[in-house]
A and B are shown apart, each in its own frame.
Chain A
Amino acid sequence: MTLRRRKAVFKADLVVIDEPQLFCLTAGKSMIIALAVPEVEDSEFDHIAASVTQKNWERYLGGYVDVRYLFTYPFHRSLYVFHSKDFAEDGVMLRPWENEFSEQLLPSHGIFSSSHTEEFGDFEEADEEEQLFIDGEWQLNEFGSFYQRYSDIYFFSAAVKNVDRQDIPQAYKGRIKNAFARKPFKGGSSYMHMFDELQDCLPRGEKLSLEGIEYNSPGDVRMNGMAEHFSDIEKLISNYVLNRQKIRNSHKKLRDFMTKHQLLGLAASSFDQGSAEAATLEQDAKILSDDLSLSSFDTVKTLCNNNSLVVAKVMLAIFRRIDSASAFFAEGRMAFERDA
């Protein structure tokens, strides 16, 4: 396949040290990142560039990947070169580069968006802090497990709330709908992918991030996100710890029904929504949702295309996460408030 040149227009300088070292351009709807490089003899270029997907661009701005990653790792990237003398008022033609860039041209690891010397965009990060208090003994993997569960609940709760909000851009609502709708919901991987995808469904100003862990007895875990979502999770977990037996009963009822009717391993597309089981599934899923104090059952139903089997499976999945996260609080190893 012949690689084609493409025109790119300057968007913004990102790092300027003596001269622009790193900047971004746009080529149509695509984001291009460009880096000044030493001019190697006969090379005819003094910049390298790479296309960046929207997802990776947000990951870069969020500090999750560095500049070197963008040039070397994603499968969906195109590489280019150009010379600064070819930059005109209306942009620059990028010449495709077929091979990987040599080490001489690549940045070292560790240039994150926090290294920017120039202000860029209006991507403000969530800065409302939640502090959870830890005590007792912890294994390292337990911190990971807790944060994973807490994070899943946060993104699920926030996404379901946001899909009905007027001030959320349509692009994010579309991603939320896709996270639910485009899954077979047959095996366990659908839930993992759904919760993973929900992390990309929130504006950056609402995303959860881990700021720090002080492992002491007592110590703390600090996260940044949106206060409203933190408050919602506190209510979910507090309710679970208080009403655990009742909630587990409604969970068992739903799960036993699904086991009896061989629905746990059935794909969503194979489920007959007109079947007798559908009404029971929806009823029992609603009871579980109410007992969990989830406020948006109807929204979840809509997101699941009114497929009762999918709704039931999503309820089981969110139950497992609330149950798992709540255990740390019930054990006394995690608390929302520090005892005086």
Chain B
Amino acid sequence: MQFLEELPEQCPPGEAAELEHENALRFVSSDEVTSLSVDDFLSYAALGQTRRNADPCDTASCSLFKSEDCEGFRTARKFPKLRTKPVAKMSIPTGAGMSIVNKKGHIHFWMYKCFDPLKHVVEVIPHDAA
């Protein structure tokens, strides 16, 4: 299966799996669903950004969170740059890509080319409501 982004070698890692994520959360740029674009779901690497000493596979993933209650998301909301960002709630079926979920509820998601993230946005939660 072809991935949406060009990935480094041995990426995704072996422990990644095709997982379903019913209410995955993604920080996005707009409160309005109609204003979102694919860019809102691209990885740091795909946006032309580089990180020093970073795992290139991590940098090439789309960061998501399992739910509003998970530790990773609650921590993310404490950061000033993320505190005011809207959040897209997504329904991601099995077969959309490969994922790794950590114990704090953060998801590294490498999506397949056939997956359109915009079509799987259920709603956008403005930052005041999250």
Contact = CB atoms under 8 A, between A and B. Distances in A.
A110 to B, nearest CB: 6
A111 interface: yes
A8 to B, nearest CB: 13
A117 B79 contact: no
Interface residues of A, number: 25
Interface in B89-120: 106
Interface stretch (A30-38, A202-210, A290-298): A30-38
A82 to B, nearest CB: 15
B127 to A, nearest CB: 11
Contact of B79 (A10, A109, A111): A111
A105 B76 contact: no
On chain B, which size bracket covers the interface?
Answer: 20 to 34
Given A13-B54, A17-B63, A117 B106 contact: yes
Contacts, number: 57
Nearest to A106: B80
Contacts of A17: 27, 63, 72, 76, 79, 82, 106
Given A12-B53, A20-B51, A110 B80 contact: no
B80 A104 contact: yes
Contact of B75 (A16, A35, A105, A110): A110
A13 B53 CA distance: 8
A249 interface: no
Interface of B: 27, 44, 49, 51-54, 58, 63, 72, 75-84, 106
27 contacts: A13-B52, A13-B53, A13-B54, A15-B79, A16-B51, A16-B54, A16-B58, A17-B27, A17-B63, A17-B76, A17-B106, A18-B44, A18-B63, A21-B76, A21-B82, A22-B79, A35-B80, A38-B81, A38-B84, A105-B80, A107-B78, A108-B78, A108-B83, A110-B75, A111-B75, A111-B79, A115-B75
